[in-house]
């Protein structure tokens, strides 16, 4: 049993920083995706489902924002959802990346045709403008002209009254880069450079301080893509641009080894760090490299759950309290793990530390593989850790979330870390059925992993050759064994790899056994709530299928959230016993691989509940973490939990709409508007306050009560208006709660709530707003 696997994992990664030099050397080279093809497995099935999803999208609808931005008539109207409410065009950039990766990974001719059409239309849009701009941001000239002359109004979720336009435009930068580097499309290279030159002109009259002010808004990984343009062209003006777009508010604490991530929007920060690492590698910046490693260690070791994901309602939760994450329906965000895998790959390539692959494998199997529904299609935004809850799946014509964008990319990237090479030494990192073609060598890996704890490698080559075959020794595996052509083989172990150095010939077969065992680990805060694993595979229980409201998403702004009824946690199974015996609650199910029966639970109807790999569960409610109590603790806790849950669920049942103030997605989903307001967090609670006013659009059908929660102790006056109805000026109770009865006979379906301060004063720090019946 482990307290938390990632905590011990990161301790092995505290490495001495490399000396500063012209470039941080790449020790491990990954293979291009074009050299790897997946074999029969869940990965291949997911990849095929993703191809269907990609081809099911209407390219002209995705292109519409770009043609409009160029002043050209679109061939079709925008998609709805996020694609016509302010983030117009962001999926188009992801789509371009996904097509490029999928073409490299499969050589699918339909994907190639779609890629070329998409690029031709983007080129037409860019050429129609004289300035090189290409983007989907609505009414682009207004916002970019304002910024160019120094009129910058930045907030975490917006810039000059637009929904994260820097984040938006980053997607097309990344898409053009990938179309060149992955698919070899020269037009994409030319468009990328023109667009980078446009950005140089856009900020040419701004000071570095003004650019930093602009970076208060989410910007994706612009610093990384500008560094990539430098690497492509070797023109240092793009490297300067990459530095200008590196957020110093994030970087400086990391350089000092300070973790101030609690409360920050997680996927705003991760791409920035990818950019720091990219710049560090290109320039040999040992301190920036060290900052990226520190960030990785903190996020993986102290902020991630067993599936490899992180965040609650998109933000980093406190490291000493994961209770909120395990209670929320908005658990780890898929985009976060997508980007953490990108950072992990970069760190592995310059350190050769296979511990990075241990994390990569964990997150790939248990989060990334699980977020695509292989039957119905569709991608997952949030993966709730709340026991008894469920996930929502996107639909091609209705759902245009950020996690659809990265979701489209993931299956095309499955093959990029299975193999690598260190000079002429060949590394096998992941046990995924696949074929590698490399310099006259064909290696085929076949297995039924993880259902069977073994893999077979078959080599084919024209001429015999000598090299070292290095097979990763996973952290979860003890007692690996290997044979070559059916005979025991001499091998060494080095840096976490089993090394077979010999002269290889056509037809050689290497068989590797990978013994797996059960383990249990807590959340990083050390509380007695356990997730069970078999080898690297997180196990979970199917707990029902009732009331999965919105299981397949519509095009509403909140359609990505599993908003159906929450089952009281007191009604979900917990374990009763001692920590050192927690694994005794699981017993293998005879004749059923990767299946375990759970015993000794608190809810009798769940006795004998079956645990299987989480990635196999879809369209159901589930449980991943199981709290552990002693007999005495359980009796007291059951009563306490029931009372707390009853109060929470009663409030939820009365709630028509709710807003988590200061949280990016919740506020943008409610069409936030503001004058002189700002946000922050305290002990994991996000808040917003103002010296003037801010407002949201709320659902108000059948509403009778407005409930506002602020930070306890904040008792400043607060003026409220609902559309044209002046509700009055109020003061919260000492516990921070304010309840206001709404006018009788209110018949509005939607209304805008305006919250404002008294003259020369500030409002309370408002945490949450609910409209109730």
Which residues share a beta bridge with 547?
Answer: none
Place of tokens 């005495």: 632
Tokens of 198: 């446009």
**What pLDDT shows up at residue 111?**
98
| DSSP for residue 403 | H
Rounded distance, CA 773 to CA 761, Å? 31
**What pLDDT shows up at residue 451?**
97
Rounded distance, CA 201 to CA 238, Å? 12
Longest dimension (CA), the chain: 87
**What pLDDT shows up at residue 10?**
46
Ranges of the chain with pLDDT below 50: 5-20
**What pLDDT shows up at residue 17?**
38
The HSE-up count of residue 625 (CA atoms within 13 Å, CB side) is 28
Which residues share a beta bridge with 421?
Answer: 29, 426
Nearest-CA neighbor of 107 among 115, 97, 117? 115
60 CB-near residues (< 8 Å, 6+ apart): 74, 75, 76, 121
**What pLDDT shows up at residue 3?**
53
Rounded distance, CA 681 to CA 678, Å? 11
The pTM is what? 0.87
Per DSSP, helices labelled H in 458-558 are none
Per-residue exposure over 616-634, b if at least 16 CB sit within 10 Å of its own CB, e if not: bbbbbbbbbbbbbbeeeeb
**What pLDDT shows up at residue 19?**
41
Rounded distance, CA 394 to CA 391, Å? 10
Rounded distance, CA 303 to CA 315, Å? 11
Helices 59-69 and 90-106 pack at an angle, to 10 degrees, of 130
**What pLDDT shows up at residue 683?**
61
Tokens of 316: 């980093």
What backbone phi and psi angles, to 5 degrees, belong to 425?
Answer: -80, 135
């Amino acid at each position: 049993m482990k307290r938390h696997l990632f905590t011990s994992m990161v301790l092995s990664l505290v490495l001495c920083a490399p000396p500063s030099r012209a470039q941080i050397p790449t020790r491990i080279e990954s293979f291009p995706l074009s050299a790897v093809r997946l074999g029969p497995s869940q990965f291949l099935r997911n990849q095929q489902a993703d191809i269907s999803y990609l081809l099911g999208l209407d390219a002209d609808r995705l292109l519409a924002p770009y043609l409009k931005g160029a002043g050209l008539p679109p061939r079709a109207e925008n998609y709805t959802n996020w694609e016509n409410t302010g983030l117009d065009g962001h999926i188009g950039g992801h789509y371009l990346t996904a097509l490029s990766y999928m073409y490299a990974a499969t050589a699918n001719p339909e994907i190639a045709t779609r890629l070329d059409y998409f690029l031709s239309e983007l080129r037409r849009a860019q050429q129609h403008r004289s300035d090189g701009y290409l983007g989907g941001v609505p009414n682009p000239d207004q916002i970019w002209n304002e910024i160019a002359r120094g009129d910058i109004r930045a907030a975490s979720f917006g810039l000059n009254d637009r929904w994260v336009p820097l984040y938006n435009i980053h997607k097309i930068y990344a898409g053009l880069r990938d179309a060149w580097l992955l698919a070899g499309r020269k037009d994409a290279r030319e468009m990328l450079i023109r667009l980078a030159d446009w950005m140089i002109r856009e900020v040419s009259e701004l000071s570095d301080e003004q650019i930093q002010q602009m970076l208060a808004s989410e910007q994706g990984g612009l610093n990384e893509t500008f560094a990539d343009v430098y690497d492509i062209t070797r023109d240092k003006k793009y490297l300067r641009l990459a530095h200008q777009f590196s957020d110093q508010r994030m970087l400086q604490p990391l350089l000092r080894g300070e973790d101030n991530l609690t409360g920050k929007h997680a996927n705003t920060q991760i791409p920035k760090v990818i950019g720091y690492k990219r710049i560090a590698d290109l320039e040999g910046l040992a301190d920036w490299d060290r900052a990226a490693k520190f960030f990785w260690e903190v996020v993986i070791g102290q902020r991630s759950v067993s599936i490899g994901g992180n965040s609650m309602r998109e933000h980093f939760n406190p490291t000493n309290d994961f209770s909120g994450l395990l209670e929320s329906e908005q658990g780890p965000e898929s985009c976060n793990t997508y980007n953490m895998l990108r950072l992990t790959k970069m760190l592995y390539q310059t350190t050769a530390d296979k511990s990075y692959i241990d994390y990569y494998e964990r997150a790939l199997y248990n989060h990334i593989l699980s977020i695509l529904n292989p039957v119905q299609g569709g991608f997952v935004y949030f993966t709730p850790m709340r026991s008894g809850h469920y996930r929502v799946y996107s639909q091609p014509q209705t759902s245009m979330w950020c996690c659809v964008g990265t979701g489209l990319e993931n299956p095309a990237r499955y093959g990029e870390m299975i193999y690598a090479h260190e000079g002429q030494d060949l590394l096998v990192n992941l046990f995924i059925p696949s074929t590698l073609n490399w310099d006259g060598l064909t290696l085929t890996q076949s297995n039924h992993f993880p259902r069977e704890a073994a893999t077979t490698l078959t080599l084919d080559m024209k001429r015999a050759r000598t090299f070292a075959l290095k097979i990763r020794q996973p952290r979860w595996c003890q007692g690996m064994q290997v044979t070559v052509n059916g005979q025991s083989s001499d091998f060494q172990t080095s840096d976490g790899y089993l090394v077979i150095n010999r002269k290889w010939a056509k037809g050689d077969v290497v068989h590797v056994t990978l013994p797996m065992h059960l383990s249990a680990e807590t959340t990083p805060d050390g509380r007695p709530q356990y997730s069970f694993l078999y080898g690297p595979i997180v196990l979970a229980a199917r707990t029902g299928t009732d009331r999965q409201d919105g299981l397949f998403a519509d095009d509403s702004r909140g359609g990505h959230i599993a908003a159906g009824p929450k089952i009281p946690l007191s009604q979900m199974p917990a374990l009763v016993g001692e920590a050192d015996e927690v694994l005794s609650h699981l017993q293998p199910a005879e004749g059923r691989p990767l299946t375990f029966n759970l015993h000794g639970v608190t809810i009798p109807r769940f006795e004998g509940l079956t645990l299987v790999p989480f990635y196999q569960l879809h369209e159901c409610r589930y449980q991943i973490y199981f709290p552990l109590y002693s007999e005495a603790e359980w009796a007291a806790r059951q009563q306490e939990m029931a009372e707390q849950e009853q109060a929470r669920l009663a409030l939820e049942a009365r709630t028509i709409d709710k807003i988590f103030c200061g949280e990016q997605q919740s506020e943008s989903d409610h069409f936030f508007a503001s004058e002189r307001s700002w946000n922050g967090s305290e002990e994991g609670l996000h808040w917003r306050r103002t010296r003037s006013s801010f407002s949201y659009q709320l659902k108000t059908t059948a509403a009778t009560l407005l409930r506002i929660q602020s930070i306890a102790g904040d008792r400043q006056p607060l003026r409220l208006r609902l559309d044209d109805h002046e509700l009055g000026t109020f003061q919260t109770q000492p516990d921070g709660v304010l309840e206001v009865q709404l006018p009788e006979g209110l018949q509005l379906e939607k209304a805008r709530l305006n919250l404002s301060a008294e003259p020369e004063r500030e409002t309370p720090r408002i945490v949450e707003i609910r409209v109730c019946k």
